[in-house]
């Protein structure tokens, strides 16, 4: 993301401030979330709204290249919107038929980075995937969960219906009445 060179007027000092332009290389990953959670001591994935300071700091945690801290002070609403769109992007072609599976395995309202690391270990997902876009990693975890979970149990009515069909088929094949 490019932060262009700009001039701002500081109301407090009644002076113009020149801000150099910067390029931020951002990565919304498990590593970024872990850094942010270790500083703020709260779950990143939750229904709680983040403050401006928390949002700005998450962008710092996402940044891969070296830029001065002052560069983040001049982010515009448009910059925050770009970052938000990047965070919300699925980054995958995989679609789930269940409408409630926006975040895959995440069914709770609060999930910490340690829980996601646990899922990675449980499913044998290599740690290099912690650098993937978080939504892509969560999609992989959701697929692993779906593939490893037992199939849906049939209802008693469906089971009896299946047994009756199998019995009828066997009777016909064997030429018997029962």
Mean pLDDT of 36-56: 94
Q: Can you read off the two tokens belonging to residue 136?
A: 């892509």
Name, in order, each residue with C-beta under 8 angstroms of 143's C-beta and a sequence gap of 6 or more. 94, 104
Q: Give start and end residues of each alpha helix (H) in 70-155.
A: 77-88, 113-123, 134-148
pLDDT at 157: 87
Q: What is the DSSP letter of 125?
A: -
How far apart, in whole angstroms, are the C-alpha atoms of residue 107 and residue 176?
51
For 85-115, how does the pLDDT look when each residue is reduced to its tens digit (9 = 90+)?
A: 999 998 989 888 765 454 555 666 789 999 9
pLDDT (average), residues 134-140 = 94
In this prediction, residue 37 carries a pLDDT of 97
Q: Which pTM does this prediction carry?
A: 0.74
How far is Cα of residue 147 from the mean position of the Cα atoms in its chain? 19
- CA distance linking residue 31 with residue 62, whole number of Å: 8
DSSP state of 6: E
């Amino acid at each position: 993301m490019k932060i262009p060179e700009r001039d701002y007027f500081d109301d407090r000092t009644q002076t113009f401030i020149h801000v150099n332009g910067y390029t931020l290389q951002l990565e919304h990953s498990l590593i970024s979330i872990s850094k942010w959670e270790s500083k703020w001591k709260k779950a990143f994935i939750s229904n709680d709204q983040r403050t401006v300071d928390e949002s700005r700091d998450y962008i710092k945690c996402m940044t891969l290249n070296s830029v001065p801290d002052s560069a983040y002070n001049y982010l515009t609403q448009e910059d925050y919107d770009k970052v938000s769109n990047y965070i919300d992007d699925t980054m995958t072609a995989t679609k789930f038929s269940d409408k409630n599976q926006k975040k895959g395995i995440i069914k709770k309202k609060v999930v910490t980075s340690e829980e996601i690391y646990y899922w990675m270990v449980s499913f044998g997902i290599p740690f290099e995937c912690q650098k993937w876009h978080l939504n892509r990693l969560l999609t992989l975890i959701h697929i692993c969960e779906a593939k490893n979970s037992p199939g849906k149990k049939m209802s008693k009515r469906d089971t009896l219906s299946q047994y009756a069909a199998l019995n009828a088929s066997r009777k016909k094949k064997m030429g018997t009445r029962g």
